[in-house]
Structure 1
Amino acid sequence: MRAILLAVLALPAVAYVTPGTTPERRTAPEVFAAARDMPQVQLEAEENSIGALVAGGFGLGALLGWMNSRKQQLASSAAAVAVALPGAANAMVDYDNIQYLGGSDKVDINNANIQAYRQFPGMFPTIAGLIGTHGPYKQVSDIYNIPGMEDKLKNIVKKYEGNLVCLPANPAYFIDRINNGNYR
C-alpha cells in the first residue's frame, strides 16, 4: 500500500520535463522503478506545519486576489442575496386590538395616539393630551383623577365615556401616544 502511495505521489516528479528539452520515452514499469528508487524524505512535524502555513497563505492570497478582481460581481451577488432573504422584523405584525387605536368608534386610553380622539368633539387636543401624558390606566374612570383636569373637561369626557376602553398598555403603542410621527 505504501509503495502504491509513493508511486502515485512520485509520478508527477518523475514525469516532469524541463522546458526546452525533449522528454525521454519510458514505459510504465520504468517509471514505477524510477519512483521506487527516489530517496524518501522524512519531514519533521515543525516543517510540516510551516509548509501548511505557507500553503495556506498562498491559498488565502489567491482567494483574496480573485475576490479583488471580481468586486463588482461579488457586490451584486451579495446585494441580491440580501434582498432575497427575508430579514428579521422587529415590528409587531398582529395586534388583536388594532381597531381601538383609531379605526373604530371606540378608543383605547392606554395605547391610542391623541389623534384618535379627533372623532370626539371637544376631546382633541386638550383632553387627549392630558390622557396621553398620564397613565397607564387600570380602568377608564382613572382619567377623572388626572391632576389639573377641570370639571368642564370632565363633563366632556363623561359624554364619550362609553366610547373609551382601557386595555393593558402595550409597549409598542404606549410610547407613541403623544407623537407617532404621522402628520396629516
Structure 2
Amino acid sequence: MKLAEAESKMQHSVEATQRSFNTIRTGRANASLLDKVQVEYYGTPTALKSLANISTPDASTILIQPYDKSSLNIVEKAISLSDIGITPSNDGSVIRLNIPPLTSDRRKEFVKMAAKYAEEGRVGIRNIRRDALDSIRKQEKAAEMSEDESRDQQDKLQKLTNKYTARIDELLADKEKDITTV
C-alpha cells in the first residue's frame, strides 16, 4: 500500500465520521438527521431522501414532502420506527418533525454517541496504518526498499495517522460544542 493510498483511505474515514456526526441531532433542525432513515418502498429499502423533499422551514421544524403522496403513511411509519426519537405529525400532504429542545441528560447521551463515532473513526485510521505498515515491512523483507527508506516511510505514515486522528478530534470537539450549546 502506497502512502497516497493510505492517506486517501484515512480521508475517507474522516468523511465517514463526519457523516456519522451529522446524524446526531443538536438543538436545531437539520435535514441530515434523516440520512440513515430507510423506507420500505414497494418491497425495497430506500433512502428517505430519495423519496421526499426534506426542508427546514425554521430552526425547530423539519418538513418532509414525499414525491409520491401515496407513500406518506409508509414514510411516517419509517420515521416513527427509526432511532431519531422524534414523533412525526402527518397533515395529509406533508410530514412535520418538531425538534424539541434537548434536556441535559439527552445532551450527555448525544455527546457519548459522538465520542463513540469518533473512536470508530480513529480505529479505522489505525487499521489503515496497520495495513500500510505491513505492506512497508513486506517490501523491506523482499528487498524492494532499504531499511532507511522503510523507516522514512513508516515515519511519514505515522505523521499521516497523527494528522487524521487530530482531524477527527477537531470534528468531535466541534460536535460536542454544537450539542452542549443551548
TM-score, with length taken from structure 1: 0.27
Higher strand share: 2
Q: Which has the higher contact order (CA 8 A, sep 6+)?
A: 2
Q: Which has the larger radius of gyration?
A: 1
TM-score, with length taken from structure 2: 0.27
